[in-house]
Amino acid sequence: MKVIVNRTYEDVSHSASQYIQTQIKHNPHSVLGLATGSTPLGLYKKLVMDYRAGHTDYSKVSTINLDEYVGLSKTHPQSYHTFMRNNLFSHINIIDQHTHIPNGQAMNLGEECARYNRTLELLGPPDILILGIGENGHIGFNEPGTSFNEKTQVVKLKESTRRANARLFSSIHDVPKEAITMGIESILSSTCILLLATGERKNKAIQQLLEGKIHEEFPASALHLHPNVTLIVDESAYNRDASPRQSFNPAIYE
């Protein structure tokens, strides 16, 4: 795993945006795997700014998102459909039919998972997959204990994850208890994975990722099984006592 330590959240967002813009220039038909949550917001802002400056064309790009809450409609203010529309899709020239997000309101969730797996197969592996990380090490909504051999699946959200995401809902009672997520096997099928982590809140998870064992109780550790993962962190997520601060801006550790 390559580790890039940037000074601030802004720098992390900038670094990640460079990867995506370069990828699309190299292949206008790129497939991007996308995450939601607070972490990639800065990245999406950078992509929108770059698009408005006329630098990147998304007309041939396809996207496939990691996950969606079960039970929320596409227009629910906290659905990941709404998140993606508000923060990225409606600001760039991507074609609506080229964007893919699980349907959290599907009548038959098992069929929806199978449909999403077929979509992934048809698109081919994401050229770049953007990931955030939960404080408990989840990636996508693959909570601790998830098998590394799952494709798209319905998962029960841990109470800690529901509490962490409650900030976006009126109360914790409104946070859905389940989600549909790309499984770890699907995540690992991506050609290149960018894991973004920022803020002190992620400090322990990053330490465990970099120093702990590969284990299903810490889902992000599966990323060590992939040959092309880059972790981009800011100082506060990386902040480890042993590291000299002057080597931070930006440093690359392999």
- Can you tell me the distance from the alpha carbon of 16 to that of 90, in angstroms, rounded to the nearest whole number? 20
If one counts every other C-beta atom within 10 angstroms of the C-beta of residue 98, the result is: 17
Closer by beta carbon to ligand F6R, 120 or else 139: 139
Task: Tell me whether residue 54 or residue 204 sits nearer to ligand F6R (CB atom).
Answer: 204
Structure tokens at 86: 């508000």
61-120: contacts with ligand F6R (CB under 6 A): 66-67
- From the list 103, 36, 101, 100, the residue with the least C-alpha distance to 70 is 103
CA angle, 199 then 195 then 11, to 5°: 55
Tokens 């702990």 appear where? 212
Catalytic-residue membership of 136: yes
81 is catalytic: no
Applying CB under 6 A, the site for ligand F6R has a residue count of 14
Active-site residue, 143 included = yes
DSSP 8-state symbol, 215: B
- 55 labelled catalytic: no
Interface with ligand F6R, residue 236, by CB under 6 A: no
Binding mask 118-157 for ligand F6R (x = CB under 6 A): --------------xxx---xxxx----------------
Identify the three-state secondary structure at position 218. strand
- Is 35 a binding residue for ligand F6R by CB under 6 A? The answer is yes
Residues in contact with ligand F6R by CB under 6 A are: 35-39, 66-67, 132-134, 138-141
Query: Which residues are known catalytic residues?
Result: 67, 136, 138, 143
